[in-house]
Structure 1
């Protein structure tokens, strides 16, 4: 786990990078600095009472510490901080060698609406600071939960991260590639490095065995344990990105305890490796075309606008061909860096078109995978994200032959030469994880839940391509689908009718009426959407959730 001083140095480092590297690195820092548990742990720790309440002034979330926010002399009375002691392995009785601490923050307003839990995804994203935000402490991403102030709001750090028994992993002695391995030698070298690193993580982390028990099956049971000891009849839930997987698992295990569930930016592991990388490749293609529409709508800020319609896709293809054999900035690295940088989360079309125009003239400084960025990316992936993701995910064929076949099949569908998304690399790394596919997920491939649910997606989401929501509806046939015809990963924080529908569902259990419009569409239970709106047809700008740089 990285020390606070190391995290602060990485924040400083970001400001000496190009724009795309800044965006990508800062987006990863949230999962780098897993704070030490509030209470020191040992393998033979004493089993504690159901909840240990702690002084919030002694449990300040690391993002709030890093932001240098001036806290009031007395913290808000509604803000509570605590620890719950749960089984390490839920299949066995809790005892001295089978328990761990789960840390949470709780904004309690004695709500008539009950308890609402939030998860910010990742997996491994810090969560507790959002409860502080609702309590009135100004955090940077307060818009992600704005509007939920009238609920008793629960923010639990998931097991193995931050204050919930964070994994203790060393700094890697290798760099993960930003693009998928292209040769058997590269694949086997990555496999060896991942195996050695995960072995050290498992050996160093306490309590012993935690590395094998950080899957979404256990996270869902931790949420239920908290609901029970806090004394609420029902759990309402807003899951964002990977948090939607925790929500789906909870519905399959504890549907009788579930209230209003909203899953935003839907992820799934009930999908083949081919389908998930192919969907992300097509999502990448759609964003290239969205950038082209943005360019033609912003003649004063897009350096490619004078070239006319189609200038962005044409220039991108030119750049990918131009640097295909480059040893300094190969085209595969460019596509990979875009996948976790300017196209990730809220796409930044102005920065992207600027970097693209420079690359076309031979200047790739804004698109270079530097050593500093590589170190940060490798650390965050291996110590925070992949332990949970790989436990949940199935690798269909972990051999080099299987992986290479996957790449060739998806490249056959490649429209602009940039389909080497982050899921490619995740599959390559998960293939060597000792815990790959070991989570006891109740809904993976087979189980169906009929609990009413809102599933929200945006047409041009790269992180969780919109097709994943269609897949998820197969396992939740009683779901209503909200589609925002715009950009960004997630919709709850984007002002407009989709956000309004989510809030109405949380507070009044109002299911939105079916509609098909320019800005959004709603598809009722038992109906299918008519298709993904053409990237050149949907609106651009603030109404589509686009960031003004």
Structure 2
């Protein structure tokens, strides 16, 4: 394909908590006069195994006390002293089916409620990914909770297992990651060579993850993270979980609802992932979403004087795609010594800016201007590094190792039938002709998780919400990473959910300055007031 898939939201995780003793029939005959069951009547099903706080094997985990202390200040966040936050670690089982074997620690960061007397409880937040650090996110995003939310909620960001400071998955070192991110591979028109190359890289990556983190790989699925969240809920003393999840975090919230329906409080799922959508369909819809967003950007650019893509609105997107593909043979120099802007990095930098709202289109116009007119690839390289989790010292945060590890633990797509492949190709040709122009049927043979050492039993499926657990789902009409239709399907599938719509561009809506969205979400969290069905806000 022309553009590599960047976002990694996927369905998820495996295993069942708790153990049930085997029920063995008596080997001796029943005493005379004892009623016997009708041999034609099947026995009643066994009771479900206890889980969460009801599982005796998890008692010690739910009874632990958190040792909160002031966090260490991060010099990179000059606008905030992290010592104003509190940090702690939560102990959870590596394997919920065998909790006594080994425990791991989940890193937490808390922004305490300013008004303890009016405190509602704890709000747990996941920023997405998979692979996103909730601790890092809270350091920068705490301001969106200013006011009544900060007064009445302890806000906790956490690093899910396998991510950040919570037993991070490790696969590639920084130099290898630099090489992989910059590598354009064979000519995409040489499909045999491209597919062989992709298989080789996929196998090498899987082998590296197995060598460095093989003991963690079977246990980093999203369902286990949902179980970790319930341990945290119990430890902080809340009877219900209040939760805000963005993007992939909406799937995590949905799985929590499925695992612990009686513990679900006020859940907000923003930029939703549809749990019933298989990975192939998700990938195709995402590619369409990004092409449509890029086309809207290009048309807006063409209407402005000095647009580097030209003034023809019908051709501007094609000019941009041709330029990015042309970097395969003519990479640009940058201000970083020894690094060039390759096609792969250029595509990543461009797509990363499409996650933002239309105000960020100016940044993308400028980045194209520097690259196309000045021959300077520094801006697009900067945005690619930011997306890939690379800092100015060349260190990676591990998010790109965690992303495929969680995705493969959450469920891989089965090989599509020839008929399905042709259906997908037809959809891409019609709705994403530029981004899929080099795509052929053979590209759908893999690689995905074929070489992954752990095979999960999880499958895409619809999740239902209990009648007493209302959920607020938010979708943005121009969201390229999790297209709006996924929010519609999630809300419909949950059954007891209200869909709040933002008409505009970008990925996710809450906390980004839209008063209509922010007020609706705050009211729901603070007093349970749901916005009227069909509410639409304008960016």
With normalisation by structure 2, the TM-score equals 0.70
- Deviation string 1:102-131 (CA, Å, 9 cap, x unpaired) is 121233434531221111112121212455
- Quick one: distance in 1 between partners of 2:126 and 2:309? 39
Correspondent of 1:66 among 76, 84, 98: 76
Q: Please, which runs of 5 or more residues in structure 2 have no aligned partner?
A: 9-59, 332-341, 391-395
Is the Cα–Cα contact under 8 Å of residues 122 and 238 in structure 2 kept in the other structure? yes
| Cα deviation, residue 158, structure 1 | 0.3
Q: Does residue 445 of structure 1 match 2:456?
A: no
Structure 1's 155 and 325: CA in aligned 2 closer, same or farther, altered over 3 A?
closer
Map 1:249-288; keep pairs closer than 5 Å. Answer: 249-288=255-294
Partner of 2:521: 502
Partner residue of 2:363 out of 337, 351, 375? 351
Deviation, structure 1 residue 289: 4.3
Decide which of 407, 410, 430 is 1:413's aligned counterpart: 430
CA gap of 1:50–1:190, structure 2 versus 1, over 3 A, is farther
Q: How does 1:381-530 map to 2 (within 5 A)?
A: 382-397=400-415, 408-415=425-432, 417-419=434-436, 428-435=447-454, 438=456, 440=458, 444-450=460-466, 451-494=469-512, 495-515=514-534, 519-520=537-538
Secondary structure of 1:413's aligned partner: helix
**What is residue 212 of structure 2 aligned with on the other side?**
204
Q: 1:362 to 1:410 in 2, by over 3 A?
A: farther
Measure the CA separation in 2 of the matches of 1:217 and 1:141.
Answer: 26
The structure-2 alpha-carbon separation of the partners of 1:329 and 1:513, relative to structure 1 and needing over 3 Å to count, comes to farther
The match for 1:121 among 128, 142, 152 is 128
1:188 corresponds to 2:193:
no
Q: Work out whether 1:320 is the aligned partner of 2:328.
A: no
Q: Compute the displacement of 1:430 (Å).
A: 3.7
CA distance in 2, matches of 1:156, 1:304: 41
Report the alpha carbon displacement of residue 211 of structure 1 after superposing the two structures with TM: 1.7
Change (3 A) 1:220 1:65: farther
Taking the aligned partners of 2:518 and 2:80, their CA distance within structure 1 comes to 30
Among 147, 153, 165, the alignment partner of 2:155 is 153
How much has 1:304 moved relative to structure 2? 6.2
User: Aligned to 1:230, which of 233, 236, 245?
Assistant: 236
Equivalent residue for 2:180? 175
CA–CA distance in 2 between the matches of 1:303 and 1:200? 41
Give the 3-state SS of the residue equivalent to 1:82 in structure 2: strand
- CA distance in structure 2 between the partners assigned to 1:322 and 1:279 by the alignment: 24
Structure 2: distance between partners of 1:325 and 1:240: 34
| RMSD (Å) for aligned C-alpha atoms | 4.2
What is the number of equivalent residue pairs in this alignment?
A: 448
- Normalised to the residue count of structure 1, the TM-score between the two structures is 0.69
Distance 1:332 1:413 in 2: 24
Q: Trace 1:231-250 onto structure 2 (pairs within 5 A).
A: 231-250=237-256
CA contact under 8 A between 1:281 and 1:420: conserved in structure 2? no
Deviation of 1:65 after TM superposition, in Å, equals: 4.2
> What is the distance in 1 between the residues matched to 2:68 and 2:95?
28
Q: CA deviation at 1:505?
A: 0.7
Asked if structure 2 preserves the Cα contact closer than 8 Å seen for 1:317 and 1:416, the reply is no
- 1:458 counterpart SS class: strand
Matches within 5 A, 1:41-80: 50-51=63-64, 53-54=66-67, 56-57=69-70, 59-60=71-72, 64-67=74-77, 71=81, 75-76=83-84, 79-80=85-86
d(CA) in 2 for partners of 1:354, 1:256: 50
Secondary structure (helix, strand or coil) at the match of 1:341 reads: helix
Distance verdict in 2 for CA 1:49–1:351, change over 3 Å: closer
Unaligned runs of 5+ in 1: 1-23, 29-46, 132-138, 521-543, 545-549
User: How many angstroms apart in 1 are the aligned matches of 2:348 and 2:106?
Assistant: 34
Any idea what the Cα deviations from partners look like across 1:274-326, whole Å, max 9, x if unmatched? 432332233224323432564477x4675668x3xxx3441222443577676
Q: Of the candidates 319, 337, 361, which is equivalent to residue 348 of structure 2?
A: 337
Kept after mapping to 2: 8 A contact 1:217/1:440: no
